[in-house]
Amino acid sequence: MKKQKKKKIRRFYKQSIWPSIVLFLLFIASCVGMVLTFVASFQGYLMDSKIADIHEDARNLGRMIDMHTDNHAAVFDAVTFVKKYLEEENDICITDENDRVLKCFGASEPDFERLQEIKIFDSYRIIPDLDPKRPHEKRMLLTSFMDIAKLSVDALAESGYETDKWMDEPLFHEYYWVQIPADVQGYHLYYKDSLIILQKNVFFMNLAILAELLMLSIPTILLFVNVLSSIRMQKRMISLLYQDSVTGGKNWCYFLEQSRKILCRLRNTNHTYAVVNLHMIRYQDYCACNGVREGEALLKKISGFLQVNMDRGETFARFARADFGLLLRCADAQQCQKRLKKMLVELTGVKKDKMMSFSAGIYLLRPAANRKSLQRRQIDINQTYHFASAARDSMRGKEGEYMKVFDQQILQEQLWKHKVEEKMEAALLNGEFQLYLQPKYHPVTEKILGAEALVRWISEEDGMIPPNRFIPVFEENGFITRLDDYMISEVAKLQSEWKINGQKQIPVSVNISRVHFVKEDLAEHICHLVDGYGADHALIELELTESAFFGNKKLLQTILKKLKMCGFCLAIDDFGAGYSSLNSLKDLPIDVLKLDMDFFRGEDTLQRGEIVVKETIRLAKALDMKIVAEGIEKKEQVEFLAEQGCDMIQGFYFAKPMPADQFNQIMKRETQHT
Ligand code: C2E
Ligand code: MG
Ligand code: MG
């Protein structure tokens, strides 16, 4: 996965939920704050208004005493006079300036010992009354909403839930000694008053708080639902983002992310891990036979099987087509291979009625020797998977092998591939690809009847590079079409030179890679290249391998027919090497059949091999095709082929591929002889 995509996913993950959650928490905090402020201010207001009443009483009393006090000695008389007009409970007490009680009018007196309970309101001192009949705790000013609410509920229960009566009953009835603000020198006057809070005061306060809570609860619920739904939505989006559309399991993004997490966990750094490329062989054919739906159902089954076989701390996902990436934890390479082997065997039976085979490439991540390199953060999972695929790829064409661990040799191959890809463009521009020609001889007259154009890469750094070192790379990356175009042009140029020089002209074959046969206008394209040099179409033979027949057969037929109409000669190269399709001989307008050199290798060449060659030549003759035998190295082989009526022989027995100049010399000599 591209780094940018990974970043986007992480950014998305971080961004979309947290702001909503933080916003929600902030909202809840501000609601709680609002309710608390409301309760505190309501409570404060209630108490302050009651205390203000007491103060008012104290101030009035002060004025009355002042009115009846002519001199200081008359204070006692004035208080005695005023007391007569007060309620019985409103005791008055006279103290000196140090709050030593001088005289009290009434049944009780203030306790100046309880200094810590003295509160100052509006600069007047106020002291809770010490009444032994009531419990001490009740004698304090109420401080919290909870206290008031609790008292109120208790009182409601006591009243037998008669709300009318309950409303006018006092909830809180407390006595306080309040300093009287009278203008009397040398004395302090205190009078006792009660602070009453009725049930209805608290009831309405509770009602207001409830209303506020209700009002706040609506946006809170809405916001909560919103946060919940956005969390759900995000989860769904993440699961969609990480879901493989075919198997329903996890996809490649997930695999990369999860593998990175597993490998980076500190406790996992001491374990060996294997990044595996598990591949179903010939999935394409399976789909062709059973349909794409069946193919996808099979992939689902494979995914289900892998899911069951994964241990904790392991993961897997489908990469593409029938390729799966696995991250396995293993003790060592042997244990990993053993486990995979078992899985591969069991997988062949995942669909009872179908025969399937699987292969796997492994890249081992061993624990590092030092602590610093234990950090596996730097590991590029995509790259390791690529190495595992390269290991699997390296088994291509090797029968019986189905599992391979990435090693130094494969790494060298990878490096080579990289180097080839880096240099190919410049090499083409600098003319490093050179035309070599291998002559084709008549088996009896031993005269040159034709030649095959073979490319050689003459590199300054690596010397002469044979085609099998770079052609497979070019076929993979598509550069082969450019190289083939170049070779066609070189051959066309050579033909026109021979024509201009009045030399003998012989047909020259050029290899056309199967990669070309997706271009609908291939025939027109080749015509255009050849016509650019004015070469004769009939003298250019196009060799295509049997693997070209596995693509779109209809398109291939159309292209070949067009090429034929343009006058080119068509040959099947390496006939008999792969899955020989005799049908192609029937359906395609082929002129030449080139027998694969493997017919002339091995032990039984002289018995069974000879029969096959003999019969193939007979078949080709019957179909009016010319036969070229390739890779002929021995005289007996030439004699045998001559006996069978083979038309041409190409092989080291006569000549190896040579540079075009050298071939020209031979051709000049041949021209002079005739
Ligand atoms: P091919 O087209 O089948 O070419 C014949 C190969 O057999 C050549 O190998 C040739 O050198 C080799 N050969 C011929 N006679 C003998 C013999 O007696 N003994 C042995 N051991 N080998 C013999 P070369 O040149 O290495 O080419 C290998 C393959 O690379 C070619 O097989 C062809 O498929 C591909 N190739 C070469 N040049 C081009 C090109 O320009 N375009 C494309 N698309 N493929 C090319
Ligand atoms: Mg060839
Ligand atoms: Mg060949």
Q: Identify the residue whose C-alpha is closest to ligand 1 atom 30.
A: 467
Alpha carbon distance 447, 506 (integer Å): 11
Among candidates 468, 364, 358, 470, which has minimal Cα distance to 407?
A: 364
Alpha carbon distance 651, 407 (integer Å): 36
Which ligand lies nearest to the CA atom of residue 454 in the structure?
1
Q: How does pLDDT run across 19-60, given as a tens digit for each residue?
A: 777 877 888 888 888 878 877 787 777 667 766 777 777 778
Long-range contacts of 596-603 (CB under 8 A, 24+ apart): 596/630, 596/631, 597/630, 597/631, 597/632, 597/651, 598/631, 599/629, 600/629, 600/631, 600/632, 600/633, 600/634, 600/637, 601/631
Which ligand lies nearest to the CA atom of residue 542 in the structure?
2
pLDDT category at 143 given cuts 50, 70, 90 is: very low
366 CA distance to ligand 2 centroid (A)?
44
User: With 80 as the cut, is the pLDDT of residue 5 above it?
Assistant: no
Q: How does pLDDT run across 550-588, given as a tens digit for each residue?
A: 667 788 889 999 999 999 999 999 998 766 567 778 888
pLDDT category at 101 given cuts 50, 70, 90 is: confident
Compute CA 75 distance to the chain's CA centroid, rounded to the nearest angstrom: 93
Which of 477, 630, 649, 656 should be mutated for ligand 1, with most atoms under 8 A from CB?
Answer: 630
Quote the pLDDT of residue 72.
55
Quote the pLDDT of residue 251.
94
User: With 70 as the cut, is the pLDDT of residue 267 above it?
Assistant: yes
**494 or 228: which leads in pLDDT:** 494
Atom of ligand 1 nearest to the CA of 652: 18
- As a whole number, mean pLDDT of residues 206-234 equals 84
**128 or 355: which leads in pLDDT:** 355
Which ligand lies nearest to the CA atom of residue 467 in the structure?
1
User: With 80 as the cut, is the pLDDT of residue 259 above it?
Assistant: yes
Helix (H) or strand (E) holding 373: helix 371-374
Question: Ligand 1 pocket, 601 CB below 6 A?
Answer: no
Taking phi first (over 0 means left), then psi (-120 to 50 degrees means alpha), and beta for anything else, what does residue 358 get? beta
Quote the pLDDT of residue 139.
38
Residue 63 token pair: 């004025």
Interior angle at CA 298, CA 292 and CA 302, nearest 5 = 145
Quote the pLDDT of residue 478.
92
Question: Ligand 1 pocket, 577 CB below 6 A?
Answer: no
Quote the pLDDT of residue 140.
40
User: With 80 as the cut, is the pLDDT of residue 667 above it?
Assistant: yes
**316 or 377: which leads in pLDDT:** 316
Atom of ligand 1 nearest to the CA of 475: 44
Quote the pLDDT of residue 146.
62
User: With 80 as the cut, is the pLDDT of residue 224 above it?
Assistant: yes
User: With 70 as the cut, is the pLDDT of residue 6 above it?
Assistant: no
- Amino acid identity of residue 554, one-letter, is K
Quote the pLDDT of residue 137.
41
Quote the pLDDT of residue 435.
97
Quote the pLDDT of residue 469.
94
Long-range contacts of 251-255 (CB under 8 A, 24+ apart): 251/317, 251/318, 252/1, 252/317, 252/318, 252/319, 252/320, 252/325, 253/1, 253/5, 253/6, 253/9, 254/315, 254/317, 255/315, 255/316, 255/317, 255/319, 255/325, 255/327, 255/381
Other CB atoms within 10 A of residue 102 CB: 13
Quote the pLDDT of residue 416.
93
Backbone angles phi, psi at 466, to 5 degrees: -70, 155
* Cα distances (Å, whole numbers) of residue 301 to 70, 119, 281, 291, 296: 111, 81, 16, 16, 9
Alpha carbon distance 607, 447 (integer Å): 29
Quote the pLDDT of residue 582.
78
584 CA distance to ligand 3 centroid (A)?
17
Other CB atoms within 10 A of residue 14 CB: 10
User: With 60 as the cut, is the pLDDT of residue 164 above it?
Assistant: yes
Quote the pLDDT of residue 117.
55
572 CA distance to ligand 3 centroid (A)?
9
Q: Identify the residue whose C-alpha is closest to ligand 1 atom 20.
A: 631
594 CA distance to ligand 3 centroid (A)?
7
* In the block, residue with structure tokens 């091999």: 609
Q: How does pLDDT run across 400-414, given as a tens digit for each residue?
A: 889 999 999 999 988
Other CB atoms within 10 A of residue 48 CB: 13
Question: Ligand 1 pocket, 588 CB below 6 A?
Answer: no
- As a whole number, mean pLDDT of residues 177-198 equals 77
pLDDT category at 11 given cuts 50, 70, 90 is: low
Quote the pLDDT of residue 20.
72
pLDDT category at 310 given cuts 50, 70, 90 is: very high
pLDDT category at 145 given cuts 50, 70, 90 is: low
Quote the pLDDT of residue 316.
97
Percentage of residues in the chain with pLDDT exceeding 90?
Answer: 44
Alpha carbon distance 526, 532 (integer Å): 10
Question: Ligand 1 pocket, 567 CB below 6 A?
Answer: no
Question: Ligand 1 pocket, 631 CB below 6 A?
Answer: yes
- As a whole number, mean pLDDT of residues 233-258 equals 90
Q: How does pLDDT run across 456-512, given as a tens digit for each residue?
A: 999 999 999 999 999 999 998 999 999 999 999 999 999 999 999 888 899 999 999
Which ligand lies nearest to the CA atom of residue 457 in the structure?
1
Q: Identify the residue whose C-alpha is closest to ligand 1 atom 8.
A: 454
Q: What is the mean pLDDT of the chain?
A: 84
- As a whole number, mean pLDDT of residues 421-447 equals 95
Quote the pLDDT of residue 102.
82
* In the block, residue with structure tokens 């990436």: 325
* In the block, residue with structure tokens 């021209």: 671
Q: How does pLDDT run across 311-328, given as a tens digit for each residue?
A: 999 999 999 999 999 999
Other CB atoms within 10 A of residue 337 CB: 18
pTM (predicted TM-score): 0.61
* In the block, residue with structure tokens 């089954």: 301
Quote the pLDDT of residue 127.
67
User: With 50 as the cut, is the pLDDT of residue 637 above it?
Assistant: yes
Strand ranges (DSSP E) for 481-625?
Answer: 508-511, 540-545, 569-575, 592-595
659 CA distance to ligand 1 centroid (A)?
14
